[in-house]
Amino acid sequence: MARSKGEQFAILGEILAAVDERRCVSIDDVASQYGITREEALAIVEPVLYVEFNPADGANPITWMHELEFDGEDLMPGIGAEQNGTPIRNLETRPPDHDTALDLYLSAAIMNSLQPNPVLATALEKLADLVPVTLLVPIEQPPALGVVQQAWSQRRSVHTRYLADGRTEATEREIVPWRVYANWGRWYVKGTAVDHGEERTYRVDRMLDARIGDVEYERPDDIPIPQWFDMDHNSRTVRVRMPAAAERSLTAPVVFADRVVLDDGWVEVTVTVHGDPRLDHLLVSLPPEAEVLEPAECVARRRDHAAALLADYS
Partner 1 sequence: MARPVDANERRLNLIAYLDERRTARVTLDDIVNNVPGYDNPDQPIPRDPDGDLTPDTTPWDSVRKKVRRDVKDISEKLRIDIAYNETEGSYRIGRPFFTPAERRALVAAASLIELEGFLPADRTGIGQVVGDDRAQIRVTIDDWFVPLVQAIEDRTPIRISYDGRERVVEPWFLGRWRTAWYLVAGDPDHDHQMRRFRMDRLSFADDQVSFPVVGEPGSYDIPDDVDAEEALDLDPNSWGPDPATEVEVRVAADHEYRFMQEFDAEIVERTTDHVVARLVVRHRTSFVIRILAFRGQAVVLAPPDVRALVRDHLASTAGVA
DSSP H or E stretch at residue 150:
helix 145-153
CA distance 46 to 140: 46
CA distance 179 to 222: 9
Residue 33, number of CB atoms within 10 A of its CB:
15
8-state DSSP, 155: T
Q: Minimal distance in Å, beta carbon 160 to partner 1?
A: 12
Taking the least distance from each CB to partner 1, the nearer of 37 and 117 is: 117
Q: Minimal distance in Å, beta carbon 217 to partner 1?
A: 19
Q: Minimal distance in Å, beta carbon 144 to partner 1?
A: 9
Taking the least distance from each CB to partner 1, the nearer of 38 and 303 is: 303
Q: Minimal distance in Å, beta carbon 137 to partner 1?
A: 5
Taking the least distance from each CB to partner 1, the nearer of 175 and 283 is: 283
Cα separation values, 112 from 124, 136, 204, Å: 9, 11, 20
Taking the least distance from each CB to partner 1, the nearer of 126 and 155 is: 126
Taking the least distance from each CB to partner 1, the nearer of 200 and 307 is: 307
Which residues are CB-contacts of 127 (< 8 A; sequence separation ≥ 6)?
96, 101, 104, 105, 108
CA distance 263 to 168: 41
